[in-house]
């Protein structure tokens, strides 16, 4: 294989790497109120779980679940491309922290709900989720910016 | 890599994906569930007509499917890689890796 052929193939390979990362790292900026909205949603969801029972609980949590489905659908359309498969290595850390953080918040909120009360648990979960979503957005943006600026 | 091994490896490269723009389109589609026209145009930095031409060639090869929703200014055209398209892309990329060691 000549040097020129090798360079052409190397350029193709770089293009595949750039293309595979594109859906993960190319997206419009998230609205500033994004973390607040997730925090408010969490607050309402924990309240519904803690204060209501039976049909009333289902009547409150079902619309909230529909709102979340709507938000995901809106986000898919806004991004223009919805990534699947394994994310780039550099994005795995903020994603892992997000999922571990959500599990931790759920555990602590449950504990507070059982020992102190539903309202403090909802407030704590809402504030914690808003903070976590804000941190995740900033961390994800930092990594995505680095990956986008890699030479093609 | 010997000349013989290199030539047999080169045979694994898909002619439909040797065009850089088509390869780039399949790279995006292979790692997304669905991607719209505007996203691909921005990623490739190409004109509408050029992108339409490239996607039509890939559709004809059976590597992607086109979905249109809505009409007029609010309408969205999106693309999805087919099973055959994903397999062809993966084969092409793996061949490139093997060739470049």
Cα torsion angle, A71, A75, A78, A80, sign = negative
Is any Cβ of chain B less than 8 angstroms from the Cβ of A81? Answer: yes
Rounded alpha-carbon distances, angstroms, from residue B92 to A37, B67, B87: 43, 25, 9
pLDDT score of A127: 98
pLDDT score of A100: 98
Q: Beta-carbon neighbour count of residue B81 at 10 Å?
A: 25
Q: Decide: B79 and B55 in contact? Cβ < 8 Å.
A: yes
A10 is a domain residue: no
CB contact under 8 A, B39 and A26: yes
B14 Cα to chain A: minimum distance (Å):
12
Joined together, the tokens standing for residue B64 give: 């992607």
Joined together, the tokens standing for residue A6 give: 């090798």
Total residues found in chain B within this entry: 101
pLDDT score of B92: 94
Joined together, the tokens standing for residue B54 give: 């490239």
B39 Cα to chain A: minimum distance (Å):
6
The SS3 of residue B14 is coil
A58 is a domain residue: yes
pLDDT score of B4: 55
Tens of pLDDT, residues B54-87: 999 999 999 999 999 877 777 889 999 999 999 9
Confidence of residue A1 (pLDDT cuts 50, 70, 90): confident
Q: Over range B6-12, report the average pLDDT.
A: 65
Which region, left, alpha or beta, applies to residue A96 given φ > 0 means left and ψ of -120 to 50 means alpha?
alpha
Pairing of strands B76-81, A81-83: unpaired
**How many angstroms from the chain centroid is the CA of residue B84?**
11
pLDDT score of B8: 58
Who among B25, B27, B34 is closest to A82 (CB)? B34
pLDDT score of A152: 57
| DSSP assignment letter at B81 | E
Rounded to an integer, what distance in angstroms lies between the CA atom of residue A57 and that of residue A51?
A: 8
Classify residue A107 as exposed, middle or buried by CB count within 10 Å of its CB (0-12, 13-18, 19+).
Answer: exposed
Residue range of the domain that includes A97: 33-147
pLDDT score of B7: 61
Range A110-114, long-range pairs (CB < 8 A, 24+ positions): A113/A46, A113/A50
Q: What is the 3-state secondary structure (H, E, C) of B25-76?
A: HHHHHHCEEEEEHHHHHHHHCCCHHHHHHHHHHHHHCCCEEEEEECCHHHCE
For tokens 């030539």, the residue is B7
- Whether B2 has a pLDDT exceeding 60, the answer reads no
Q: Which top CATH class is B3-100?
A: mainly alpha
Structural domain total, chain A? 1
CB contact under 8 A, B33 and A84: yes
Residue ranges covered by each domain of chain B: 3-100
Share of chain A above pLDDT 90, in %: 88
pLDDT score of A4: 86
Total residues found in chain A within this entry: 152
Tens of pLDDT, residues A79-138: 999 999 999 999 999 999 999 999 999 999 999 999 999 999 999 999 999 999 999 999
Rounded to an integer, what distance in angstroms lies between the CA atom of residue A74 and that of residue A60?
A: 22
CB contact under 8 A, B33 and A82: yes
Tens of pLDDT, residues B18-50: 899 999 999 999 999 999 999 999 999 999 999
Q: Which of A3, A25, A81, A91 has the most B C-beta neighbours within 10 Å, making it the best mutation to test the interface with B?
A: A81
- Whether B10 has a pLDDT exceeding 80, the answer reads no
pLDDT score of A27: 95
pLDDT score of A150: 73
Rounded to an integer, what distance in angstroms lies between the CA atom of residue A58 and that of residue A63?
A: 9
Rounded to an integer, what distance in angstroms lies between the CA atom of residue B52 and that of residue B32?
A: 19
Per the prediction, chain A carries an average pLDDT of 94
pLDDT score of A60: 96
A22 is a domain residue: no
pLDDT score of B12: 74
A151 Cα to chain B: minimum distance (Å):
14
């Amino acid at each position: 294989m000549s040097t020129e052929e090798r360079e052409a193939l190397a350029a193709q390979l770089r293009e595949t790497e750039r293309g595979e990362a594109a859906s993960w790292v190319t997206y419009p900026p998230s609205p500033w109120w994004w973390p607040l909205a997730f925090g408010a949603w969490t607050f309402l969801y924990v309240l519904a779980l803690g204060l209501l029972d039976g049909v009333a609980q289902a009547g409150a949590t079902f619309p909230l679940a529909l709102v979340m489905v709507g938000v995901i659908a809106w986000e898919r359309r806004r991004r223009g491309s919805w990534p699947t498969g394994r994310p780039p290595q550099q994005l795995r850390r903020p994603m892992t922290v997000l999922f571990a953080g959500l599990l931790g918040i759920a555990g602590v909120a449950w504990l507070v709900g059982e020992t102190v009360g539903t309202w403090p648990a909802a407030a704590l979960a809402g504030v914690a989720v808003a903070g976590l979503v804000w941190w995740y957005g900033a961390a994800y943006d930092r990594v995505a910016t680095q990956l986008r600026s890699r030479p093609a | 890599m010997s000349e013989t091994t290199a030539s047999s490896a080169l045979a694994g490269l898909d002619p439909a994906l040797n065009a850089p723009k088509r390869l780039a389109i399949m790279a995006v589609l292979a790692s997304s569930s669905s991607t719209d026209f505007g996203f691909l145009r921005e990623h490739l930095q190409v004109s509408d007509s050029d992108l339409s031409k490239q996607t039509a060639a890939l559709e004809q090869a059976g590597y992607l499917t086109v979905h249109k929703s809505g009409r007029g200014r609010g309408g969205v055209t999106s693309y999805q890689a087919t099973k055959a398209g994903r397999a062809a892309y993966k084969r092409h990329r793996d061949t490139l890796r093997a060739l470049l060691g």
